[in-house]
Amino acid sequence: MKIVTKAILSVAVIMLCLSLVPAMADTPAPAQEKVIIYQTDFATNPNWQTNSPSRYYWDSELQMYHYLVQGGTGSYAFVPVVYDNGPFTLEYDWYPLQTDKDTSFQFGMGSQEMDITQGTNVLSIFANKKYGKIMSLQVISSSNNKLETNSAHESYGGPTINFDDNQSYHVVVRYSKELQNADIKVSYRNNQSTLWTSYLNLGTELHTMNRLFISSVGFYGNMSGYSEGYIDNVTLYRLQDATPVPTTVPPTPVATTLPPTPRPTTVVPTTTKAPMPWELALIAGTIAGLVIIGKKKQP
């Protein structure tokens, strides 16, 4: 009996555990919403600041932003953003026209120096190097600690992945303050298929970033060549847990208690009914019969 009892208890416990698994799996993750920090689709002039308006400018016909990066020029274009040193995601569309040997295009978040060799910055970089046209993610911390990952074989051990000029791409760069890491994903814009993705473990938080910028400050590559193209649909945002919409419950109406309506008192008059003649005869006959019976019983 003990064996049977134990077996039954074991089966019961297993069934209980299995019944809990779907409930745990069905628990939804908290919904998240975008909080836009900066956004432009270049339909109108975004008025980015630049020290070289012939290289960096808004193209009103194409409704995109033009860049031409040359080494040694120290040129840049930027837009200030109100940023609280928290996590962020930067997305933009990229259209490279020409990327000469030993030139590069770099765009991302950074500090007021806008120097691609000094902190603080989180940059997507597209350069024509030893292994061809290579995609990179570069992060330089506030203490000038530089980390980089790129799509060349020597960087991550896999096959070298190149980008092409005259192609359209969508770029996503993210920084997580909580996890202290950053990542990048480059996709083909026409079908959203991923071309390359990678990440960096930073081991530190990033501070003092206050602008989006394109820059050649600190870049001394091929001074006769250049990197030229366009960017579009720039969005800088952070994700946060969605605030539940409060449900407005209509107030419960308070019942008004009215005193009961007094019912009218109906006074029923008491009527003394006079006996009918036949009733009197019946009573008299009964009495008489009783008397006669009583006399017959006397001796």
In a domain, 284, yes or no: no
Q: Is 248 helix (H, G, I), strand (E, B) or coil?
A: coil
* Amino acid sitting at position 28: P
Where on the phi/psi map is residue 47: left (φ > 0), alpha (ψ -120 to 50), or beta?
left
| Dist. CA 289–CA 286, nearest whole Å | 5
In a domain, 102, yes or no: yes
End-to-end CA distance of the chain: 96
In a domain, 254, yes or no: no
| Number of structural domains found in the chain | 1
Is the four-CA dihedral 154, 156, 157, 160 of positive or negative sign? negative
Specify the pLDDT at position 231. Answer: 98
| Dist. CA 52–CA 68, nearest whole Å | 10
In a domain, 174, yes or no: yes
In a domain, 163, yes or no: yes
In a domain, 249, yes or no: no
Q: What is the domain-level CATH number for residue 166?
A: 2.60.120.200
175-216 per-position pLDDT tens digit: 999 999 999 999 999 999 999 999 999 999 999 999 999 999
- 67, β-bridge pairs: 229
In terms of residue numbers, what domain contains 170? 32-241
In a domain, 228, yes or no: yes
What value does the mean pLDDT of the chain take? 82
**Is there a cis peptide before residue 120, judged by omega within 30 degrees of 0?**
yes
- Give 174's contacts (C-beta < 8 A, 6+ positions apart): 87, 88, 89, 90, 182, 183, 184
In a domain, 1, yes or no: no
| Dist. CA 95–CA 169, nearest whole Å | 7
Q: Which parts of the chain register pLDDT below 70? A: 1-30, 244-299
CB-based contact 68:228 (threshold 8 Å): yes
Specify the pLDDT at position 222. Answer: 83
